[in-house]
A and B are shown apart, each in its own frame.
Chain A
Amino acid sequence: MARAEAARRGPRLRITGPELDDLAYQAAADALVAIISKLGQFRGESRFTTWACKFAIFEVSAKIGRHFWRHPAVPLDAEDWHRLPARFGFDPAHQAEWGDLFAALRRAVDTELSPRQREIFVAIVLNDVPLDALVMHLGSSRNAIYKMLFDARRKLRAVLAANGYLPDDSSGRS
């Protein structure tokens, strides 16, 4: 299972050959430990194999997150704001139309987010660090990092909507 999942994800992440085999092996070994330690938590809500496969998938994710730091593409403290518009599909030829939006977004990131929210926003959104890799780096959990980013997204959208850059509706509330 771990091998199949690693093979499914590996090529996209440019992890191949012995490196991929090693990742799958480690994931399978750690998944087995997790399954044995959690056996008492299996409540029969699904087939046992589905429940067990879940842990193999989780371990592959964790190993891929760790693997990222072997060859990080961007330093964690880099802040390349210039690439951000293109990542959302904004056409550089029409910068006059969206320049103010990104200036407002940057101001909001600097003034509205807590230092921790800002750190996570910069790492994931600006520097394209995978969330699981950031989890490893910060010694945190996926849930904690996601929640931090969730709150940051909500704050930023509220500011941009209040200033007329995005539609002001209630569906962004939490």
Chain B
Amino acid sequence: MNGWPALDRFLRTDPRDVGCEDAMEMLHVYAELVASGEPAEERYPGIAAHLQACGPCGEDFEGLLAALRGEAH
């Protein structure tokens, strides 16, 4: 096991990260783009950066995406 990359990933911050408030404000729009296969990361790089780094917001995104995909089936 080599934990250096994991520690580095955890401590590394992305200056594009918009934070929880802005990401959650647009989460419904972002999730619909992802669900429909649109390039959401390109359109909202700050939200994408945030969802990668913030566990709770990432979990909310996964939940909303699961709901959207569930509707589609």
Contacts and interface: CB of A to CB of B under 8 A. Distances in A.
A94 to B, nearest CB: 8
A66 interface: no
A150 B1 CA distance: 26
A153 interface: yes
A152 B1 CA distance: 26
Nearest to B15: A174
Nearest to A54: B28
Interface stretch (A14-22, A73-81, A82-90, A112-120): A82-90
Chain B contact residues: helix, strand, loop or mixed:
helix
- The interface size bin for chain B is 35 or more
B11 A54 contact: no
B2 A150 contact: no
Chain A contact residues: helix, strand, loop or mixed:
helix
Interface in A76-113: 85, 88-91, 98, 101
A54 B64 CA distance: 6
A88 B27 CA distance: 29
B20 to A, nearest CB: 4
Interface of B: 1-4, 6-8, 10-15, 17, 19-21, 24, 26-29, 31-32, 53-57, 59-60, 63-64, 66-68, 70-71
